[in-house]
Amino acid sequence: MEQGNYSVGLDIGTTKIVAIIGRENEYGKIEILGTGKSKSLGVHRGVVNNITQTISSIQQAVEQAEVNSGLKIGSVVVGIAGQHIRSLQHSDYITRPNSEEVIDEDDLDKLCNQVYKLVMLPGEEIIHVLPQEYKVDGQSEIKEPKGMYGGRLEANFHVVVGQVSSIKNIGRCIKSAGLDLGNITLEPLASAEAVLSQEEKEAGVALIDIGGGTTDLAIFKDGIIRHTSVIPFGGNVITEDIKEGCSIIEKQAELLKIKFGSAWPGENKDNEIVSIPGLRGREPKEITLKNLSKIIHARVVEIVEQVYVEIKNYGHEDQKKKLIAGIVLTGGGSQLKHLKQLVEYITGMDTRIGYPNEHLAGDSDEEVASPLYATAVGLLMNAVESKKRNLIIEEEVVHEDENVLVGQEQMAGSTTISNKERKSIFDKWSEKLKDFLDNAE
């Protein structure tokens, strides 16, 4: 298969690193060609804290995916999360020099680029600028202003901000692992792409992605992203607590959580006991399942309540902002028994577990359709999407170049340039970041 035909998503998580290679099939679904997974060492709460270990973990996952698929991985799309991520609302406007011309892509780009100039706190950088709705000459609630007439174009933006150093560290790891950084995207957005349907985004939905180190939240309403946040707790704090509470080692705590754990303490009988082998000739330990689920319950309630505070901050209680589709849980932590019931009990909102099979081709590997892989699949979709966009731009440019040959040098020449410039804001941002990394070497 030729090089240009597939894309790669790389999810650098706190517990695991996943590389997924895939491409779009003729039905517009994602076909998985290979996956690789390694234990993530050197990432804490979604932030890289040991570059050397992270690089070797990335290389392991990538090699496995390459062996698995027989393909070579070049450029990857990476997700970013961590407690340093925050989001804010911002509105901005531009005044167009000629209101007799219709609004086009360039005007929207100009407006978005203006938001990138916002002054952030020291050490922060804007990761995403997501337009929500536009206003043209005071007429509000316009979703797509292209092709309209107007002098003043304004928009509300959802701006996602992160720490420069954390972003640079991720870029550094990718580069040192011998890969190209194709794009960086916010992990909750990637997970949302993979598990939510368009109807849910329209009706209003909160996606909660419970990972190992962080819990990510993305709220959609009327098809538009309204709120994102990263809460610095995940499945690992539950494991930690079991380890401390039962005086056992981490590996055993993790197994206990997965095999016997439940978020609802009421259902275990008092006499249900698990015996755990002691360390090196010590007596085995006996742990009651009731105690185990009490420990898990306490932690999970804490996580869910923090997420619920964020949902309230967005304004869920306001009639117009009501999330009709409720909550979708995904990520490895969502596989905890009875979690769905607990979340419904705490928030009073309808809840389902989200599997990333919405956009996968029918014959995909069962394993990849598990909530564990939601972010990785979302990143892969993002990679496929940006590859498609770039191809369209290149084709446009090629057509323009042919026109130049016909002899319309001045006119077509100028359009060529504008089309080349018409990369998504995100690509521009990635390029800026790449230059930045190159200079930092």
Is 1 a residue whose pLDDT tops 60?
Answer: no
- Give this prediction's pTM: 0.87
Is 278 a residue whose pLDDT tops 90?
Answer: no
pLDDT of residue 439: 64
What are the CB-based long-range contacts (under 8 Å, 24+) for 238-243?
A: 238/295, 238/296, 238/299, 238/300, 238/333, 238/336, 241/295, 241/296, 241/298, 241/299, 242/292, 242/295, 242/296
- β-pairing, 75-80 vs 180-186, is parallel
Which residues, other chains included, contact 342 with Cβ-Cβ below 8 Å and sequence gap of 6+? 263, 264, 297, 300, 301, 304
- One DSSP character per residue, 366-381 reads GGGGSGGGHHHHHHHH
Residue reference for tokens 């180190």: 213
Structure tokens at 13: 């998580």
**Phi (first) and psi of residue 272, to 5 degrees:** -85, 120
Query: Please, which pLDDT band fits residue 279 given cuts at 50, 70 and 90?
Result: confident
Averaged pLDDT for residues 136-163: 93
pLDDT of residue 403: 62
Distance CA 293, CA 337 (A): 10
pLDDT of residue 437: 64
Domain ranges for the chain = 197-357
Q: Give the chain's mean pLDDT.
A: 88
Encode pLDDT of 417-436 as tens digits: 344 444 555 566 666 666 66
Going by C-alpha positions, the residue among 218, 222, 225 that lies closest to residue 307 is: 218
Is 371 a residue whose pLDDT tops 90?
Answer: yes
Is 343 a residue whose pLDDT tops 70?
Answer: yes
Residue reference for tokens 């099979």: 357
Averaged pLDDT for residues 358-372: 85
Structure tokens at 29: 């679904």
pLDDT of residue 429: 61
Is 269 a residue whose pLDDT tops 90?
Answer: no
**Phi (first) and psi of residue 346, to 5 degrees:** -75, -40
Coil/strand/helix, residue 112 = helix
Averaged pLDDT for residues 312-318: 88
Residues 270, 302 contacting (CB under 8 angstroms): no
Query: Distance from first CA to last CA of the chain, Å, rounded?
Result: 34
Facing residues of 132 across strands? none
Residues recorded for the chain = 441
Structure tokens at 64: 């496995």
**Phi (first) and psi of residue 225, to 5 degrees:** -70, 130
Helices (H), 117-249: 164-176, 187-195, 198-203, 235-246
Q: Is 137 left (phi over 0), alpha (psi -120 to 50) or beta?
A: left
Encode pLDDT of 244-254 as tens digits: 999 899 999 99
**Angle at which helices 409-421 and 374-406 pack, to 10 degrees?**
170
Residue reference for tokens 């609802």: 264
Residues 162, 127 contacting (CB under 8 angstroms): yes
CA-to-CA separations, 34 to 31, 72, 305, 375, in angstroms, rounded: 9, 11, 37, 16
230 burial type by CB count under 10 A (0-12 exposed, 13-18 middle, 19+ buried):
buried
- One DSSP character per residue, 309-357 reads HHHHHHTTTSGGG--TT-EEEESGGGGSBTHHHHHHHHH-S-EEE--TT
Distance CA 347, CA 349 (A): 5
pLDDT of residue 438: 66
Give the CATH superfamily of 197-357.
ATPase, nucleotide binding domain (3.30.420.40)
- One DSSP character per residue, 205-220 reads EEEEEE-SS-EEEEEE
Residue reference for tokens 């990476």: 78
Percent of the chain with pLDDT over 70: 89
Strand order in the sheet with 86-95: 86-95, 152-163, 124-136, 139-142
Encode pLDDT of 210-242 as tens digits: 999 999 999 999 999 999 999 999 999 999 999
